[in-house]
Structure 1
Amino acid sequence: MTEYHVSPMPFDVPDDLTIPQFILSTDASSTRPTRPSHVPWLVEDASGRGIHFDELKARTSALANALHVKWAIGENDVVCVFSPNDVDYPVAVWAVHTLGAVVTPANPGYTVKELVFQLKATSASLLICHSACLKTAQEAAKEAGLSASRVIVVNRDGGPLSGVHTLEDLVVFGKSQSTSYKERRFVPGEAKKKLAFLSFSSGTTGTPKAVAISHYALIANVLQMAVHNRVADPHWKDKRMVPGDVAMAVLPFFHIYGLVVNLHYSLFCGMSVVVIPKFNFLDFLKSISRHKITHLFVVPPQIVLLCKHPAVRSYDFSHVKYCMSGAAPLSGELMKTVSKVLPNACVGQGYGLTETCTTVTMVPPHQRFATIGSAGQLLPGITARVVKADGTMAKQGEPGELVLTGPSMAMCYYNNDAATKETFINGWVRTGDEVIIKNNEVYVVDRIKEIMKVRGYQVAPAELEGHLLLHEDVLDVCVVGIPDEYSGELPLAFVVPQPKVASKLKCPQETLKLKKRLAKHVADAKVPYKWLAGGVEFIDAIPKNPSGKVLRRILRDQAKTMKREVVYEAKL
């Protein structure tokens, strides 16, 4: 049997710590760089205010106390965090974990229906939202059966809020009360099974599912990345991450890449994390320059803008020393171009999934410029197999589905045995990605799974198809992704119209009107990256095999040859 791995972990991953106990530890360790006391943990982008260890620790403890006193939040309760990036985002996460409760991060761009789905699927008992998302949060909480008193607001708009609990008020309250909670501590081995996050992913098929991630999995992945990059190796002179470096956190913390790599791993390495609530490219450039950012964790659309936007020529980014792109493939042409924009940076890709609690590959530590086409080298502790369609193991250089195991694997899909059995098999995770492996570097060839990647976000065709089928004019539908330089892929819907409207489609004006109605039907119910920016095409029948399975690849190939007609433009 052909298996691939670089090396085992050189030490045991602690299995008796919660995430906040691990991250907020100040104990000296051979695995962890020492952060100088003057180096802030977080930096608020707009104000430049630095937030140090003592403030983070105190706010985390105070919020945990308030959550316990007011709502008795404790063991296995689920708290939804519905917010853009904020300096109090990790405070909220760690406060919940301190009580033995579970965090489910939600996309702040969600519609009411999308948020209701997540609240119900996780049985969330408390909702922490940003003031910019308050209206959606309140409507969703009501529909999900959550009391209005259980909505907490991170108030960054500055205006007064009546009738709601604000996070700041709770921190003040928590500090004023004697400690009522007992910090959750694990017995050896317990961290491997104790839920920390219910993070949503579409897996290889279907609608979004809650991925059950343990405390141990995140801690293991942070340590795997640290060992791979030799951040605490006294003999490795050319370290990529050192205390005092400055990482930009523009990736959303609700996404597993932003949550694990950009937030927790960067903090572990002793870096300051500049927290940016929302991506705007011109502001993004200013922030890189103003804060002298050294580490960029980005997705391909941001690389495209760095390569092509004329405003970039006004900046000197020689202080950037590391740039990792993830969440979707990056072309060799873009890698070469961005290396000229960032002349002193190591440029490359990483690869990972929510189901693997993020990173399984990164740029090899000895490479300044990554191998073109490579998603990176397997991390220590990761073992990979490449499985061919007939179930046999592919040899080196042969394509097949990537199947992985290691200490950071998620446990299952929460309350979804059927989906779990398809993806989580005896400690191994089926990725749904077709790859080849050479010299322990992974090259992604294609996606076996149906999931599209739009600007780094997962979009499940089945979710959009199910919604389109609710429209009275749709008889059948198949959604595929079409290539797009900026977004990676865009959703395109092939629609079989109901007979009652099919005859009208001989008129170009009627055809365009129906396309716009169907696109709006999706846009009214879904977050913008799920909109039908690839268009709508009418066909006589959806191709299927004898057992009724949609032959999606046929339509995907057909879509590549078509001239795209934009009927509803997705917002950035």
Structure 2
Amino acid sequence: MEKSGYGRDGIYRSLRPPLVLPKDPNLSMVSFLFRNISSFPDKPALIDFHTGQTLTFIEFKSVVSKVSYGLLQLGIKKKDVVLIYSPNSIQFPICVFGIVGIGAIATTVNPIYTVSELSKQVHDCKPKVIITVQELLPKVKDFNLPVILLGTDKKPLEPIGKIPSIKLFTELVNNEGSVDLDNRIKQNDTAVLLYSSGTTGTSKGVILSHRNFIAASLMVTADQEWAGEINNVFLCVLPMFHVFGLAVIMYSQLQRGNSVVSMAKFDFEMILKAIEKYKVTHLWVVPPIMLALAKNSVIKKYDLSSLKQIGSGAAPLGTDLMKECAKNFPQAIVLQVKFLSQFFFSFGSGYFNNPQATRLTIDKQGWVHTGDIGYFDEDGQLYVVDRIKELIKYKGFQVSYS
């Protein structure tokens, strides 16, 4: 093999050591998530920046188990779809892991979606329950589906639309029951449906298995593993309905034993306050936030010396901007990453209810066609420079005009 990783068979291979993936086929992403917590049961796992609520890893596992039990009591069973339509909170990942912990399937929705956009996803994946927040109830009132309400301890006094029942998250977890989170699940079972336009304009459900999440989390945290890093603190301001927030930050870092600080929405000065207060070590953002880190003088008001790494993803970032940001944070590594929902096809099974789109994305040899244009240099570094398909990236979100 050449120095670049280019082999005689015409395939480029990473020069990094190969990942060692768990071979047990009967392994869920939730049991994998909690496999090591006996080593750090009282370490903070999830922290809500807005409320200050903190869950240790042992408390985190307990509440996920209670959510799983509560969902079973509501009649949710393996392979049923549960839709989460909510901004970030520490209840968001708890619900995701509670859903997939019983073999059901979680699907997530951008909380700024209109009723029309939400309706398309509801009709495509046919969820049994919608998990949402008080302010979004008017948008889910006509789907005739039961609702689990996050972030409040009060139900609406009057019936809303066609919603047959509303259960509070606090009611869901206020029980003595629990679930064996190692039960009845295989690595190849579907865990999550993340909707993405991919390389075409229409939104499609990307099927992600338990194995997808496990493999991706080991890849994302490989550098930490090789360096022997422990006790990192990640700030999650990126949306958890997106692959970056949910898989790359939330799941990957928690399975590693890192702490994650949740933030509901973007506010630049709140980000700086969170970094200072919780001694955040890793900040992964999108280019507009990176621009603010490079240009906004307000950063001088805060102690941001805890930062060891600043990463940008979801849209391209210029080299000049990266260098300018690095000047403000000399103690931190500034880098750019690329993740897409379809990337996980490397270990998964295509688009939900859309075999034609799957065939156009995954060829007969199993290669995933991402729609990107790039090149390798002589050292094996991959540079993505353009897209084949006409797709605009606006603030990290895809807008198709093809």
**1:336 maps onto 2:323 in alignment:** yes
Question: How much does 1:119 deviate?
Answer: 0.9
Decide which structure has the larger Cα Rg and report it: 1
Of 354, 359, 377, 1:421 maps to 359
Deviations 1:98-149 (A, max 9, x none): 21110101111111111111111111111001223222222xxx2x4x33xx
Question: How much does 1:312 deviate?
Answer: 2.0
| 8 A Cα contact 1:317 1:343, kept in partner | no
State TM-score, norm by structure 1.
0.64
| 8 A Cα contact 1:335 1:348, kept in partner | yes
Name the CA distance, whole Å, in 2 between partners of 1:81 and 1:160: 18
| 8 A Cα contact 1:267 1:273, kept in partner | yes
> Which amino acid is the alignment partner of residue 292 of structure 1?
K
| 8 A Cα contact 2:100 2:192, kept in partner | no
Q: Which has the higher contact order (CA 8 A, sep 6+)?
A: 2
Which residue is equivalent to 2:264?
Answer: 277
What SS does structure 2 have at the residue aligned with 1:96? helix
Which residue is equivalent to 2:4?
Answer: none
Which residue is equivalent to 1:377?
Answer: none
Which residue is equivalent to 2:400?
Answer: 460
Deviations 1:23-78 (A, max 9, x none): 012378xxxxx5x34420011102333211222122111121121112x1111100
> Which amino acid is the alignment partner of residue 5 of structure 1?
R
What SS does structure 2 have at the residue aligned with 1:42? strand
Question: How much does 1:159 deviate?
Answer: 5.3
> Which amino acid is the alignment partner of residue 101 of structure 1?
A
Question: How much does 1:290 deviate?
Answer: 1.7
Of 120, 129, 148, 1:152 maps to 148
**1:122 maps onto 2:122 in alignment:** no
| 8 A Cα contact 2:31 2:182, kept in partner | no
What SS does structure 2 have at the residue aligned with 1:79? strand
Deviations 1:425-473 (A, max 9, x none): 13211010100112221111111122221111112225xxxxxxxxxxx
| 8 A Cα contact 2:21 2:215, kept in partner | no
**1:62 maps onto 2:66 in alignment:** yes
**1:20 maps onto 2:13 in alignment:** no
> Which amino acid is the alignment partner of residue 235 of structure 2?
M
> Which amino acid is the alignment partner of residue 452 of structure 1?
I
Distance 1:204 1:97, change over 3 A: same
**1:185 maps onto 2:192 in alignment:** no
Percent identical: 33
> Which amino acid is the alignment partner of residue 129 of structure 1?
T
**1:42 maps onto 2:41 in alignment:** no
What SS does structure 2 have at the residue aligned with 1:191? coil
What SS does structure 2 have at the residue aligned with 1:203? coil
What SS does structure 1 have at the residue aligned with 2:368? strand
Of 156, 164, 170, 1:168 maps to 170
What SS does structure 2 have at the residue aligned with 1:220? helix
Equivalence map 1:316-355=2 (5 Å): 316-355=303-342
> Which amino acid is the alignment partner of residue 11 of structure 1?
V
Name the CA distance, whole Å, in 2 between partners of 1:354 and 1:135: 29
Distance 1:219 1:137, change over 3 A: same
Deviations 1:176-199 (A, max 9, x none): 4x558886334xxx412x111110
Distance 1:311 1:82, change over 3 A: same
Equivalence map 1:319-398=2 (5 Å): 319-357=306-344
Of 36, 40, 51, 2:55 maps to 51
Question: How many pairs does the alignment contain?
Answer: 383
Deviations 1:230-267 (A, max 9, x none): x334xx4xx5xx33221100011100011111101111
Bigger shift: 248-257 or 336-345?
A: 336-345
| 8 A Cα contact 1:222 1:261, kept in partner | yes
Unaligned runs of 5+ in 2: 1-8, 160-165
Which residue is equivalent to 1:204?
Answer: 199
| 8 A Cα contact 1:65 1:181, kept in partner | no
Name the CA distance, whole Å, in 1 between partners of 2:278 and 2:134: 26
Which residue is equivalent to 1:411?
Answer: 349
Deviations 1:147-191 (A, max 9, x none): 3xx1111034x655346211111111xx24x558886334xxx41
Which residue is equivalent to 1:497?
Answer: none
Unaligned runs of 5+ in 1: 29-33, 358-404, 463-572
Which residue is equivalent to 1:430?
Answer: 369
Question: How much does 1:288 deviate?
Answer: 1.5
| 8 A Cα contact 2:68 2:178, kept in partner | no
**1:3 maps onto 2:14 in alignment:** no
Name the CA distance, whole Å, in 2 between partners of 1:41 and 1:254: 19
> Which amino acid is the alignment partner of residue 367 of structure 2?
W
Which residue is equivalent to 1:516?
Answer: none
